Chain A
């Protein structure tokens, strides 16, 4: 039993956290990295959640989204050809198989469970027993219903049509700019939805809570930068996809400037929700003339991240450090209010990296 759990831990759980390291780093930064009293802030939020039923249901909705992400990942792994050996779990009997897969679900759902325990403690201190029962019931439901779903997925492994949460592809023109986005939409839908949810939520909270006493684009620029960098795991996935499936496209007779433009179009499309949502901040946080700066900054950041992946065999862990380093550097540069020069400089650096490494990716 110990060996089986160890294998499941290595094959499914560790891989899940490696794959989503970017999201967790981003969340940790948002939840614990901002300059305020962290303990008081979280205690205040927790009290608000357990005392306010609609707010509690919003939290349940977020947890459910995270559970969908777990389901998408685990179900896909269970039916992946390279994980075929996991079908041997069925030989242990249905009940034991259920408990093994419960272990996987418990491990990948752990961040939510830990927060649920924190909320239960807070609710207990305030004698809010209904909230305790609701949180307890919801968490157990997510843990066990999802584990049961995994058992079903494993049982149906070789049956058509199989387990599919992704839905059909969108009918949009398939170009080198849209195909990687189609991949994210069809194969990483939960990652995309959760990234966009948190990215837009972050923008929303900033727009609603920050009221400047005089016009200054810099706070919004930094907020938009954080919102854009939350897409870094998607950038990583896109680059891997290009490497695995679109390497033949290096044989296409496109000049390097054309390829750079295709990539810029792709990231503009990816950032469309943020670029549209940021209009909620108009005219309080930015003027019409500054929108271009905002837009180029977001796209240039993703291009820079993409270009950094061309420079070598960059693993997720290193990539997160690169993304973090870039954002911190940009934060200090933004403080000096360089205007449109900063995004233009970022575009120039990205193009330089593209030019040097796109074909010479082994140097």
Chain B
């Protein structure tokens, strides 16, 4: 469970998010909201990529501000439009992530096979299409032993086959390893392989549970 406490995020003088206290329960959670409602900002804050006022606590145990290393070890994140150095290969990037997140390279390679990008595993990322880069970033979000995986628009630029595979990956990871997901998406998940345990709404600079 993720607890947001007195969380405020401002860009210059504009408040993007202001949450007094809010708890995100474990499960597969869909975060919805219009453009500019602060969905990506919230995910980046939880992943430790953006500074903010307040604190986020994981399972009443580790605080992002006070036990940062322990906190981010349990949080993985896949960006909407990932950007990686073009001169690196996917193999090198997988090694880097597996080393940092104490992950298993073989498991990640298996995910890349499922997503049909393993045949370009040793090629520089500059030769990848945006869809392939997106798939790679999703596979990297599954590296290690996270308690939460944050997926920002996981379905954009991916083909229909990949959508089903991604849904299966999420379902499997949640049911086998009890990993929770916080997912933002403007696309609808037309797949029988995934069911959301709750839905959140980012609206008017704050978070609410969608009915």
Contact = CB atoms under 8 A, between A and B. Distances in A.
Interface residues of A, number: 27
Given A174-B95, A245-B83, A251 B51 contact: no
A249 B77 CA distance: 10
A102 to B, nearest CB: 31
B51 A248 contact: no
Candidate in B48, B75, B87, B99 with the most chain A CB atoms within 10 angstroms: B87
B48 A248 contact: no
A169 B51 contact: no
A293 interface: no
A182 B75 CA distance: 28
Given A174-B88, A179-B85, A359-B48, A251 B68 contact: no
B51 A361 contact: yes
B55 interface: no
B100 interface: yes
B109 interface: no
B48 A251 contact: yes
Contacts of B96: 174-176, 179
B189 interface: no
A245 B100 contact: no
Contact of B48 (A174, A250, A363): A250
B82 A186 contact: no
Contacts of A248: 49, 77, 79, 82
B205 interface: no
A247 B49 contact: yes
Interface string A174-204: 1110010011001100000000000000000
Contacts of B48: 250-251, 359
B92 interface: yes
A182 B88 CA distance: 9
A251 B83 contact: no
Contacts of A249: 100
A252 interface: yes
Nearest to A247: B49
B69 interface: yes
Interface in A240-264: 241, 244-255
Contacts of B77: 248, 251
A362 interface: yes
B87 A253 contact: no
B131 to A, nearest CB: 18
Main secondary structure of the interface of B (DSSP, over half): mixed
Nearest to B64: A359
Interface in B20-72: 47-51, 68-70, 72
Contacts of A155: none
Contacts of A255: 69
Contacts of A216: none
B76 interface: yes
B101 interface: yes
A176 B95 CA distance: 12
A342 to B, nearest CB: 31
Contact of B72 (A251, A362, A363): A251
A360 interface: yes
B73 interface: yes
Nearest to B77: A251
B51 A253 contact: no
B196 interface: no
Interface string A53-86: 0000000000000000000000000000000000
A360 B9 CA distance: 12
A176 B93 CA distance: 11
Candidate in A244, A248, A255 with the most chain B CB atoms within 10 angstroms: A248
A220 B74 CA distance: 49
Nearest to A363: B51
Candidate in A174, A186, A253 with the most chain B CB atoms within 10 angstroms: A253
B108 to A, nearest CB: 15
Nearest to A246: B85
Contact of B83 (A176, A244, A361, A363): A244
B49 A251 contact: yes
Contact of B70 (A187, A246, A251, A253): A253
A252 B72 contact: yes
Candidate in B69, B70, B73, B85 with the most chain A CB atoms within 10 angstroms: B85
Contacts of A182: 85, 87-88
A152 to B, nearest CB: 22
Q: Closest 10 interchain pairs by CB? A: A253-B73, A252-B100, A174-B92, A186-B87, A360-B51, A253-B69, A251-B47, A245-B85, A169-B87, A253-B72
Given A179-B88, A182-B87, A244-B83, 10 more contacts: A169-B87, A175-B99, A182-B88, A183-B85, A248-B77, A250-B47, A252-B72, A253-B69, A359-B51, A361-B51
28 contacts: A174-B88, A174-B96, A175-B96, A175-B99, A179-B85, A179-B96, A182-B88, A183-B87, A186-B87, A187-B87, A244-B83, A247-B49, A248-B49, A248-B82, A249-B100, A250-B47, A250-B72, A251-B48, A251-B75, A251-B77, A253-B69, A253-B70, A253-B73, A253-B101, A359-B51, A359-B68, A362-B51, A363-B51
